[in-house]
Protein backbone atom coordinates (compact mmCIF):
# COMPACT_ATOMS: atom_id res chain seq x y z
CA UNK A 1 0.00 0.00 0.00
CA UNK A 2 1.34 3.46 -0.87
CA UNK A 3 1.81 5.93 1.97
CA UNK A 4 -1.04 8.19 0.83
CA UNK A 5 -3.36 5.18 0.64
CA UNK A 6 -2.35 4.02 4.08
CA UNK A 7 -3.28 7.47 5.48
CA UNK A 8 -6.67 7.36 3.73
CA UNK A 9 -7.10 3.86 5.12
CA UNK A 10 -6.33 5.04 8.68
CA UNK A 11 -8.85 7.84 8.25
CA UNK A 12 -11.56 5.50 6.98
CA UNK A 13 -10.87 3.00 9.76
CA UNK A 14 -11.54 5.75 12.33
CA UNK A 15 -14.82 6.72 10.64
CA UNK A 16 -15.94 3.08 10.48
CA UNK A 17 -15.27 2.69 14.21
CA UNK A 18 -17.38 5.76 15.03
CA UNK A 19 -20.20 4.32 12.90
CA UNK A 20 -19.72 0.91 14.51
CA UNK A 21 -20.04 2.41 17.99
CA UNK A 22 -23.37 3.89 16.92
CA UNK A 23 -22.21 7.46 17.65
CA UNK A 24 -24.29 10.00 15.74
CA UNK A 25 -23.48 13.31 17.42
CA UNK A 26 -20.47 15.55 17.91
CA UNK A 27 -18.28 16.03 19.85
CA UNK A 28 -16.74 12.56 20.02
CA UNK A 29 -15.50 11.54 23.49
CA UNK A 30 -12.24 9.57 23.11
CA UNK A 31 -12.03 9.11 26.89
CA UNK A 32 -15.41 7.34 26.99
CA UNK A 33 -14.50 5.18 24.00
CA UNK A 34 -11.20 4.15 25.63
CA UNK A 35 -13.11 3.32 28.80
CA UNK A 36 -15.52 1.08 26.84
CA UNK A 37 -12.51 -0.78 25.44
CA UNK A 38 -11.25 -1.31 29.02
CA UNK A 39 -8.29 0.95 28.32
CA UNK A 40 -7.35 2.99 31.34
CA UNK A 41 -6.62 6.64 30.55
CA UNK A 42 -4.27 8.51 32.86
CA UNK A 43 -3.25 12.15 33.04
CA UNK A 44 0.47 12.27 33.49
CA UNK A 45 2.98 15.08 33.77
CA UNK A 46 5.46 14.08 31.09
CA UNK A 47 9.07 13.49 32.10
CA UNK A 48 9.93 14.76 28.65
CA UNK A 49 8.20 17.91 27.41
CA UNK A 50 8.19 16.59 23.82
CA UNK A 51 5.97 13.62 24.67
CA UNK A 52 2.25 14.21 24.08
CA UNK A 53 0.96 10.75 24.89
CA UNK A 54 1.82 7.13 25.51
CA UNK A 55 0.35 3.74 24.78
CA UNK A 56 1.32 1.25 27.46
CA UNK A 57 0.96 -2.50 27.24
CA UNK A 58 1.11 -4.93 30.12
CA UNK A 59 0.36 -8.41 28.83
CA UNK A 60 -2.95 -8.01 27.03
CA UNK A 61 -4.00 -4.94 29.00
CA UNK A 62 -3.56 -1.45 27.62
CA UNK A 63 -3.41 2.01 29.11
CA UNK A 64 -3.10 5.47 27.60
CA UNK A 65 -1.27 8.29 29.30
CA UNK A 66 -1.65 11.82 28.01
CA UNK A 67 0.59 14.73 28.80
CA UNK A 68 -0.70 17.53 30.98
CA UNK A 69 2.16 20.00 30.44
CA UNK A 70 0.10 21.56 27.66
CA UNK A 71 -3.04 22.59 29.51
CA UNK A 72 -5.36 22.43 26.54
CA UNK A 73 -8.36 20.14 26.35
CA UNK A 74 -8.38 19.94 22.55
CA UNK A 75 -4.70 18.98 22.48
CA UNK A 76 -5.31 16.26 25.09
CA UNK A 77 -8.36 14.88 23.22
CA UNK A 78 -6.25 14.68 20.05
CA UNK A 79 -3.39 12.97 21.94
CA UNK A 80 -5.71 10.31 23.39
CA UNK A 81 -7.25 9.74 19.94
CA UNK A 82 -3.76 9.36 18.45
CA UNK A 83 -2.99 6.59 20.96
CA UNK A 84 -6.36 4.96 20.18
CA UNK A 85 -5.17 4.96 16.57
CA UNK A 86 -2.15 2.88 17.56
CA UNK A 87 -4.48 0.58 19.50
CA UNK A 88 -7.06 0.09 16.74
CA UNK A 89 -5.05 0.23 13.50
CA UNK A 90 -3.86 -3.18 12.32
CA UNK A 91 -0.16 -3.78 12.88
CA UNK A 92 0.42 -0.71 15.03
CA UNK A 93 0.66 -2.32 18.46
CA UNK A 94 3.40 -4.68 17.33
CA UNK A 95 5.19 -1.98 15.35
CA UNK A 96 5.18 0.86 17.88
CA UNK A 97 5.42 -0.85 21.28
CA UNK A 98 8.92 -2.14 21.85
CA UNK A 99 10.37 -4.39 24.52
CA UNK A 100 9.66 -1.76 27.16
CA UNK A 101 5.90 -2.08 26.63
CA UNK A 102 5.63 1.67 26.15
CA UNK A 103 5.15 3.76 23.01
CA UNK A 104 5.80 7.49 23.29
CA UNK A 105 4.20 9.87 20.80
CA UNK A 106 5.45 13.34 20.04
CA UNK A 107 3.12 16.16 19.09
CA UNK A 108 3.53 18.71 16.38
CA UNK A 109 3.08 16.63 13.26
CA UNK A 110 6.82 16.79 12.64
CA UNK A 111 7.35 13.05 12.52
CA UNK A 112 7.99 11.39 9.19
CA UNK A 113 7.35 7.96 10.72
CA UNK A 114 4.56 6.18 8.86
CA UNK A 115 2.85 4.92 12.02
CA UNK A 116 2.86 8.35 13.64
CA UNK A 117 1.32 10.00 10.57
CA UNK A 118 -1.29 7.23 10.30
CA UNK A 119 -2.22 7.71 13.97
CA UNK A 120 -2.56 11.49 13.38
CA UNK A 121 -4.87 10.89 10.40
CA UNK A 122 -6.81 8.42 12.51
CA UNK A 123 -7.16 10.98 15.34
CA UNK A 124 -8.38 13.78 13.06
CA UNK A 125 -10.98 11.54 11.39
CA UNK A 126 -11.97 9.99 14.71
CA UNK A 127 -12.77 13.39 16.26
CA UNK A 128 -14.09 14.82 12.98
CA UNK A 129 -15.62 11.90 11.03
CA UNK A 130 -16.68 13.05 7.59
CA UNK A 131 -20.26 11.73 7.82
CA UNK A 132 -20.89 13.90 10.92
CA UNK A 133 -18.55 16.79 10.04
CA UNK A 134 -19.82 17.49 6.53
CA UNK A 135 -23.52 18.05 7.35
CA UNK A 136 -22.53 20.54 10.11
CA UNK A 137 -20.06 22.26 7.80
CA UNK A 138 -22.84 23.12 5.39
CA UNK A 139 -24.58 25.08 8.15
CA UNK A 140 -21.70 27.15 9.55
CA UNK A 141 -20.84 29.52 6.72
CA UNK A 142 -17.45 30.10 5.16
CA UNK A 143 -13.84 30.90 5.96
CA UNK A 144 -12.42 31.27 9.45
CA UNK A 145 -15.89 31.67 10.98
CA UNK A 146 -16.80 28.20 9.69
CA UNK A 147 -13.58 26.71 11.08
CA UNK A 148 -14.15 28.35 14.47
CA UNK A 149 -17.71 27.01 14.60
CA UNK A 150 -16.61 23.51 13.62
CA UNK A 151 -13.79 23.60 16.23
CA UNK A 152 -16.42 24.45 18.87
CA UNK A 153 -18.77 21.70 17.65
CA UNK A 154 -16.02 19.05 17.52
CA UNK A 155 -14.03 20.33 20.52
CA UNK A 156 -10.87 20.27 18.43
CA UNK A 157 -8.07 22.80 17.91
CA UNK A 158 -8.39 25.49 15.25
CA UNK A 159 -5.36 24.09 13.44
CA UNK A 160 -6.59 20.47 13.29
CA UNK A 161 -10.08 21.65 12.35
CA UNK A 162 -8.74 23.88 9.58
CA UNK A 163 -6.90 20.94 8.00
CA UNK A 164 -9.99 18.73 8.26
CA UNK A 165 -12.08 21.53 6.71
CA UNK A 166 -9.95 21.47 3.54
CA UNK A 167 -10.41 17.68 3.34
CA UNK A 168 -14.20 17.74 3.77
CA UNK A 169 -15.43 20.89 2.01
CA UNK A 170 -16.51 20.98 -1.62
CA UNK A 171 -15.59 24.67 -1.88
CA UNK A 172 -12.40 26.14 -3.29
CA UNK A 173 -10.38 26.86 -0.16
CA UNK A 174 -6.85 26.71 1.17
CA UNK A 175 -5.40 27.08 4.63
CA UNK A 176 -1.85 28.31 5.12
CA UNK A 177 0.14 28.11 8.34
CA UNK A 178 3.03 30.57 8.54
CA UNK A 179 5.74 31.66 10.93
CA UNK A 180 7.03 35.20 10.39
CA UNK A 181 7.77 35.58 6.69
CA UNK A 182 7.85 31.84 5.97
CA UNK A 183 5.06 29.50 4.97
CA UNK A 184 5.21 26.44 7.21
CA UNK A 185 2.59 24.37 5.40
CA UNK A 186 -0.49 24.66 3.23
CA UNK A 187 -3.52 22.48 2.55
CA UNK A 188 -5.83 22.94 -0.43
CA UNK A 189 -9.31 21.49 -0.92
CA UNK A 190 -9.68 18.88 -3.66
CA UNK A 191 -11.79 21.28 -5.73
CA UNK A 192 -9.09 23.97 -5.53
CA UNK A 193 -6.40 21.48 -6.60
CA UNK A 194 -8.61 20.55 -9.55
CA UNK A 195 -8.90 24.03 -11.12
CA UNK A 196 -5.40 23.88 -12.57
CA UNK A 197 -3.34 26.84 -13.66
CA UNK A 198 -2.11 27.58 -10.15
CA UNK A 199 1.15 26.56 -8.57
CA UNK A 200 1.21 24.73 -5.30
CA UNK A 201 2.48 26.77 -2.41
CA UNK A 202 5.59 24.95 -1.44
CA UNK A 203 6.79 24.44 2.08
CA UNK A 204 9.24 27.08 3.23
CA UNK A 205 8.30 29.59 0.59
CA UNK A 206 8.02 33.19 1.69
CA UNK A 207 4.64 34.67 2.63
CA UNK A 208 3.66 36.87 -0.37
CA UNK A 209 4.09 40.58 0.38
CA UNK A 210 0.73 41.92 -0.83
CA UNK A 211 -1.27 39.84 1.62
CA UNK A 212 -3.06 40.35 4.93
CA UNK A 213 -0.91 37.61 6.41
CA UNK A 214 2.36 39.37 5.55
CA UNK A 215 1.21 42.56 7.29
CA UNK A 216 -0.20 40.57 10.24
CA UNK A 217 3.03 38.66 10.81
CA UNK A 218 5.11 41.83 11.04
CA UNK A 219 3.92 42.13 14.63
CA UNK A 220 4.44 39.02 16.75
CA UNK A 221 1.95 40.31 19.33
CA UNK A 222 -0.79 39.56 16.77
CA UNK A 223 0.19 35.89 16.82
CA UNK A 224 0.76 35.63 20.53
CA UNK A 225 -2.48 37.39 21.51
CA UNK A 226 -4.53 35.39 18.97
CA UNK A 227 -5.70 38.52 17.13
CA UNK A 228 -7.87 37.93 14.05
CA UNK A 229 -8.34 40.01 10.90
CA UNK A 230 -10.44 39.66 7.78
CA UNK A 231 -9.65 41.13 4.41
CA UNK A 232 -9.00 40.32 0.79
CA UNK A 233 -6.02 39.47 -1.34
CA UNK A 234 -5.40 38.08 -4.80
CA UNK A 235 -5.31 34.44 -5.84
CA UNK A 236 -2.29 35.25 -8.01
CA UNK A 237 -0.28 36.64 -5.08
CA UNK A 238 -0.70 33.40 -3.19
CA UNK A 239 -0.62 30.80 -5.94
CA UNK A 240 0.92 32.39 -9.04
CA UNK A 241 -0.68 31.28 -12.28
CA UNK A 242 -2.70 33.42 -14.67
CA UNK A 243 -5.89 34.06 -12.68
CA UNK A 244 -6.08 37.56 -11.25
CA UNK A 245 -9.04 37.05 -8.87
CA UNK A 246 -9.85 38.81 -5.61
CA UNK A 247 -10.35 36.32 -2.78
CA UNK A 248 -11.18 36.51 0.92
CA UNK A 249 -8.32 36.15 3.36
CA UNK A 250 -8.98 35.62 7.08
CA UNK A 251 -6.02 35.54 9.46
CA UNK A 252 -5.71 34.52 13.12
CA UNK A 253 -2.77 34.11 15.50
CA UNK A 254 -2.55 30.63 17.04
CA UNK A 255 -1.36 31.96 20.42
CA UNK A 256 1.23 29.89 22.25
CA UNK A 257 1.60 27.63 19.18
CA UNK A 258 3.52 30.60 17.73
CA UNK A 259 2.10 30.27 14.23
CA UNK A 260 -0.44 32.08 12.10
CA UNK A 261 -3.45 30.46 10.42
CA UNK A 262 -4.67 31.95 7.14
CA UNK A 263 -7.87 30.89 5.40
CA UNK A 264 -8.23 31.65 1.67
CA UNK A 265 -11.77 31.30 0.28
CA UNK A 266 -14.47 32.95 -1.83
CA UNK A 267 -12.43 31.84 -4.81
CA UNK A 268 -14.78 32.38 -7.76
CA UNK A 269 -13.11 30.81 -10.72
CA UNK A 270 -15.11 31.29 -13.91
CA UNK A 271 -15.88 27.97 -15.51
CA UNK A 272 -13.78 26.90 -18.46
CA UNK A 273 -16.03 28.37 -21.18
CA UNK A 274 -16.30 31.82 -19.62
CA UNK A 275 -12.60 31.79 -19.15
CA UNK A 276 -11.95 31.14 -22.82
CA UNK A 277 -14.16 34.08 -23.73
CA UNK A 278 -12.39 36.23 -21.21
CA UNK A 279 -9.01 35.24 -22.58
CA UNK A 280 -9.95 36.08 -26.14
CA UNK A 281 -11.42 39.36 -24.93
CA UNK A 282 -8.23 40.21 -23.10
CA UNK A 283 -6.27 39.30 -26.22
CA UNK A 284 -8.41 41.58 -28.36
CA UNK A 285 -7.86 44.43 -25.92
CA UNK A 286 -4.12 43.91 -25.61
CA UNK A 287 -2.18 46.37 -27.75
CA UNK A 288 -0.17 44.62 -30.46
CA UNK A 289 3.10 46.12 -29.48
CA UNK A 290 5.52 45.65 -26.70
CA UNK A 291 8.01 47.92 -25.15
ZN1 LIG B 1 2.34 7.70 18.28
Give the mean model confidence (pLDDT) for residues 111-125.
93
Sheet bearing 40-44, strands edge to edge:
40-44, 61-67, 51-58, 102-106
Q: Tell me the CA end-to-end span of the chain in Å, nearest whole number.
A: 55
Cα(23) to ligand 1 centroid in Å equals 25
More confident residue, 28 or 274: 28
Q: Pairing mode, if any, of strands 40-44 and 61-67? A: parallel
Q: What DSSP character marks residue 31? A: H
pLDDT at 221 over 60: yes
For the chain, give the longest Cα–Cα distance.
Answer: 80
Cα(163)–Cα(7) distance, integer angstroms = 14
Q: What is the CA radius of gyration of the chain?
A: 21
* Residue 108 CA to ligand 1 centre (angstroms): 11
Residue 87 Cα, ligand 1 centroid: separation in angstroms? 10
Average pLDDT over residues 210-238: 95
> What distance in angstroms lies between residue 112's CA and the mean position of ligand 1's atoms?
11
Q: Where are the beta strands (DSSP E) in 37-136?
A: 40-44, 51-58, 61-67, 102-106
Name the band, by pLDDT with cuts 50, 70 and 90, for residue 46.
low
Contact call for residues 273 and 259 (beta carbons, < 8 A): no
Domains along the chain with CATH numbers: 3-127 (1.10.10), 172-273 (3.30.450)
- Distance of CA 143 from the midpoint of ligand 1 (Å): 31
Encode pLDDT of 80-101 as tens digits: 999 999 999 999 999 999 888 9
Residues 121-157 have pLDDT tens digits of: 999 999 999 999 999 999 999 999 999 999 999 999 9
The Cα–Cα gap between 199 and 177 comes to 17
C-alpha of residue 103 to centroid of ligand 1, in Å: 7
CA-CA distance, 59 to 234, in Å (whole number)? 58
53 CA from centroid of ligand 1 (Å): 7
Using CA atoms, how far apart are residues 291 and 91, in angstroms rounded to an integer? Answer: 65
- Between the CA of 79 and the centroid of ligand 1 the distance, in Å, is 9
Q: How far is the CA of 144 from the centre of ligand 1 (A)?
A: 29
Ligand 1 centroid vs 31 CA: distance in angstroms?
17
CA of 107 to the centre of ligand 1 (A): 9
Q: How remote is the CA of residue 106 from the centroid of ligand 1, in Å?
A: 7
CA distance 167 to 163: 7
Amino acid sequence: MSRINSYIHASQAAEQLIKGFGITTLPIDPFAIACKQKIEVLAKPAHNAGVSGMLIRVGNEFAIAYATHIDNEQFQRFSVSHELGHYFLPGHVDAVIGESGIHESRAGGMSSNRYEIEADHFAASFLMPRHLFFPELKRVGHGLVAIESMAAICNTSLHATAIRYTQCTRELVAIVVSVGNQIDHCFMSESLKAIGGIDWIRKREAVPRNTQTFAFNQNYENVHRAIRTEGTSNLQDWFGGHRCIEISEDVIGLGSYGKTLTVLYDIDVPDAEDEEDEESLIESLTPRFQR
